[in-house]
Every structure is written in C-alpha cells, then in structure tokens.
Amino acid sequence: MGRIAGVTAAETRERLLRAAAEVFARRGYDGTRVADIAAAAGVSNGALYAHFDSKAELLVAALRAHGPQLLARLFAADPDRPITELLAVVGRGLPRRRDAHGYLIVEALVAARRDEDVARPMRDYVGERADRLAGLVRAAQDDDEVDGTLSPDALSHFCLLLAMGSALVTPDLHRVDDGEWAALLARLVTALAPAGAAAQPSAPTGTTAQRGAPR
C-alpha cells in the first residue's frame, strides 16, 4: 500500500484527511492508530508520514478540512447577508444531531486536554476561528448591523462556546424544542443591534440583504 499509481500528492493528502476524519470520529483519538488511518486511505504508513509528522497533526488537519464549517459556507455563498442572520441560521442547527464529522471537534478538544502535541495546533485552530468570527463582527459593526460598543472578541468567544458546547450536549443527552430555541436566538440577535435600532426580521428564504446599503 505505497503511493497509488496515478494519484497525485495532493490527492493522497486529501484521501488521508478524509480517512482520518472518518476513523477519528468513529474510534476516537486514543483508539485510533496511524496504521488504521493509512489502511482506510489505502496507503502505507510511510506514505502517511510523508504528509504528516504525527497523529496529533493529522487530527487537527482533518478537523480543518472536514470539521464543521457551516458559517464559512454560508458566508461564501452570500457575503452580503447580515452577519446576525448568518449566526442565527447556524445557531438554529446547533441542538440537532451531528454527522460523524461533527464529532471531530469533540475528539480534538478532549485530546488537547491530555496531549500537548494536540493542544498546540488546537490553540492555533481555535484562535483562527475566533479571529475570523471577530472580523465578521467588526465588519457588521462598521455597517451598523451590530452594536459598536460590544467587544468583537467577546462575542466571537461566546459563539465558539455555543458551537463547541453543542457538540458535547447532543440531543440524546438533552433535547430542546426547535421553536423555543429559535425564539431565544431571535431575542439574542435583537440584543446585538445598535442601541435604538429597530429589530430587523430575518430575510425570507431566497432574498439577499445588502450589507452596507442605505437604511
């Protein structure tokens, strides 16, 4: 199981990341061996180590490639949509059951508590997500969508706590009514608006709110 004929290095790396995401999610970090991932990808251990130095590096790389990225996908699809709407869309899905890849973040967070080799790249990963969120909040503040007195870093941290915590408190442990959860999120989103601003209803499906348009 060396390098597969006709497969590029980039394709081999992607095969490894996809296999790692599946195996880590199914067996957990501690229960996974490098050989398990190599076998699932159809390559040798040597081929794996040609791309990744350690199991810890592979875990965080798999999380970057195949972990939850709904907010990034929504923003890429509609960059003019108000950030508060994007956060509400993501937030409404948090209490629902996740697919296997959604549990990657759980494995990475737990492993980071015990293994400094995992903790180091995880600090970078979480920091990058927080910085991206804070950047979106600052842009929304510039467009007068979010109260400018709020700390972008604090709001970003709050969103990360909700998102990562939801991976731990799954529906089989505790379930919340979808309507009640959506109502709570709507109240929270309204509270983010600049002081004195009227609450803005969510845009109907299929419409686009223009960021920075005259109000």
Q: Could you tell me the pLDDT band of residue 72, with boundaries at 50, 70 and 90?
A: confident
pLDDT at 70 over 90: no
CA dist 173 and 178 (Å) reads 16
pLDDT at 212 over 90: no
Residue 111 binned pLDDT confidence (cut-offs 50, 70, 90) = very high
Grade residue 53 by pLDDT with cuts at 50, 70 and 90: very high
6 confidence band (pLDDT: 50, 70, 90): low
- pLDDT score, position 112: 95
CB of 80 closer than 8 Å to CB of 209 = yes
Query: pLDDT higher for 116 or 196?
Result: 116
What pLDDT sits at residue 200?
47
pLDDT for residue 5 is more than 90: no
In 3D, which of 26, 103, 82 has the Cα closest to residue 201?
82
Per-residue pLDDT band at 204 (split at 50, 70, 90): very low
Shortest CA distance to 161 belongs to which of 105, 120, 111, 119? 105
For the chain, the structural domain boundaries read 9-65, 68-191
Q: Are 70 and 36 in contact (CB under 8 A)?
A: no
**Could you give the angle at which helices 9-27 and 34-41 cross, rounded to 10 degrees?**
120
Top pLDDT among 134 and 96 is at 134
CATH architecture of the domain with residue range 9-65: Orthogonal Bundle (1.10)
Mean pLDDT of 47-73: 90
Tell me the one-letter amino acid at 23: V
Average pLDDT over the chain, rounded to an integer: 86
The pTM of this model reads 0.80
pLDDT at 213: 35
Query: CA distances (Å), 157 to each of 112, 137, 187, 211, in order?
Result: 18, 11, 19, 23
d(CA 189, CA 47): 48
Fold of 68-191: Tetracycline Repressor; domain 2 (1.10.357)
- Express each pLDDT in 121-148 by its tens digit: 999 999 999 999 999 999 999 999 999 9
Among residues 136, 110, 133, the alpha carbon closest in space to that of 122 is found at 110
Q: Would you place residue 7 in the very low, low, confident or very high pLDDT band (cuts 50, 70, 90)?
A: confident
C-alpha distances in Å from residue 47, one per residue of 9, 20, 28, 35, 139: 10, 14, 22, 11, 43
Residue 175 in this model has a pLDDT that exceeds 60: yes
Predicted pLDDT at 79: 87
